[in-house]
Homo-oligomer: A and B are copies of this chain.
Amino acid sequence: MKVAVLGAGNGGQAISAYLSMQGHNVSLWDRNQNIVDELIKKGGVRLEGCINGFGAINIITNNLKTAICDAQIIMIVTTANAHGYLAVQLADLLQEGQIVVLNPGRTGGVLEFRESLKKLNFSKKIFLAETQTLIYACRTKETGVVNIIGIKDKVFLSALPSKDTSYVLKKIQNLYTCFIAANNVLVTGLENIGAVFHPSVIIFNAAAIERGNKFYFYREMTSAVAEFIEKLDDERLAIGKAYGIDLISAKQWVSFAYKNIKGDSLCERMQNNPAYYDILAPESIHCRQLLEDIPTGIMPLIAFGEIAGVKTQLLQSVLTIASVLLQKDFTLEGRNLTRLGLNSCRSVLDVIKIIDNS
């Protein structure tokens, strides 16, 4: 199968290597010429850890057109705050019938992607989908060498509109068998566990990170922070409930996504998850755990809460604190109702109508 993988970070390198090893015809794109050059020199990516082997990648390029030309499936594996930008860049290049999958969409990824296309009067028939999380827990050791720390058992996937999900799922089964259908993009979007995990950990460790302290992001989780995360998660669960979705709680999720995790509390499960074990905290507070998760997690959660009339005091406090800490106005880029294309929605039913059918 011809597959384009956009983004050569941890996830993009891992996916393109694995699919190449499986015999697929993969083209890998990245915006960064240095990474592209380095990968061309190596001819592909070596995987270590849970998967071992070398994936020789057919095309490695920083030209989007070259990358996606005639690809049946386009796997977007960039940070989620690049989704809107990529939609604009891809608008002229996308071909009828192509499948675009955001790995993952975070909250509202395909909604923002589609709205960005709409603004450009995009009219080709393509298929848009998003996953709930990245398939792998992985880290690049160096460009071209990725350590696969864990592989998720089951990953939710939904198309926009939802009626396209079964078609996308049938096609993507050729690449991965871990994907399972989510009812709609609210499920994949509201099951954004990173949005409740990441910013909380960074905020309560901000000074330690600034001081240059090294610590393990999950292994050294502390109880009050984990309990804070559960309270933040309660707001996410309440939003889900308002949309008729019985979301998986953060605590359940760790055991759902990984096998045989020991521990009763969320804190223990985070500390004990082997897939999390070696993940170090970022070296700067200007990290994707805030720069990505605030605009593509916390903000759209607040937006969905607003339509449904769900109180999101804690989510809003996290947004406020993070904005001031980073001195960054996230409203200039974050997924609000306008950027999600939901400005006309006055109720939960309005949203569901849009995501299921149109």
Binding site for B on A (CB under 8 A): 201, 203-208, 210-211, 213, 215, 220, 222-225, 227-228, 231-232, 285, 313-314, 316-318, 320-321, 324-327
CB distance from A105 to the nearest CB of B (A): 27
- Indicate if the CB atoms of B205 and A327 lie closer than 8 Å: no
With A205-B207, A211-B215, A232-B324 known, 19 other A-B pairs at CB within 8 A are A203-B321, A205-B206, A206-B224, A207-B208, A207-B220, A207-B222, A208-B213, A210-B223, A224-B285, A227-B327, A228-B321, A228-B324, A228-B325, A313-B320, A314-B320, A316-B317, A317-B321, A318-B321, A321-B321
Q: Whole-angstrom distance between the alpha carbons of A316 and B313 in the complex?
A: 10
- Indicate if the CB atoms of B326 and A224 lie closer than 8 Å: yes
Nearest residue (CB) in B for A215 is B211
Q: Whole-angstrom distance between the alpha carbons of A218 and B215 in the complex?
A: 22
Nearest residue (CB) in B for A321 is B317
Oligomeric state, in copies: 2
**Chain B hits for A325, CB < 8 A:** 204, 224-225, 228
- Indicate if the CB atoms of A231 and B324 lie closer than 8 Å: yes
CB distance from A31 to the nearest CB of B (A): 28
Q: Whole-angstrom distance between the alpha carbons of A185 and B321 in the complex?
A: 30
**Chain B hits for A321, CB < 8 A:** 203, 228, 314, 317-318, 321
Question: Can you list 18 contacts pairing A with B, beta carbon distance less than 8 Å?
Answer: A201-B207, A203-B203, A204-B205, A205-B207, A205-B208, A207-B222, A207-B225, A210-B225, A211-B215, A211-B220, A224-B285, A224-B326, A225-B325, A228-B321, A313-B320, A314-B321, A316-B317, A317-B317
**Chain B hits for A208, CB < 8 A:** 205, 207-208, 213
Interface centre among A205, A207, A327, by most chain B C-beta atoms within 10 angstroms, is: A207
Interface centre among A215, A224, A232, by most chain B C-beta atoms within 10 angstroms, is: A224
Q: Whole-angstrom distance between the alpha carbons of A314 and B208 in the complex?
A: 22
**Chain B hits for A320, CB < 8 A:** 313-314, 317
CB distance from A181 to the nearest CB of B (A): 35
Q: Whole-angstrom distance between the alpha carbons of A270 and B231 in the complex?
A: 33
Q: Whole-angstrom distance between the alpha carbons of A307 and B150 in the complex?
A: 54
Nearest residue (CB) in B for A230 is B324
**Chain B hits for A228, CB < 8 A:** 321, 324-325
Nearest residue (CB) in B for A286 is B224
Nearest residue (CB) in B for A234 is B324
Nearest residue (CB) in B for A212 is B222
- Indicate if the CB atoms of A206 and B225 lie closer than 8 Å: yes
Nearest residue (CB) in B for A319 is B317
**Chain B hits for A231, CB < 8 A:** 324
**Chain B hits for A205, CB < 8 A:** 204, 206-208
CB distance from A220 to the nearest CB of B (A): 6
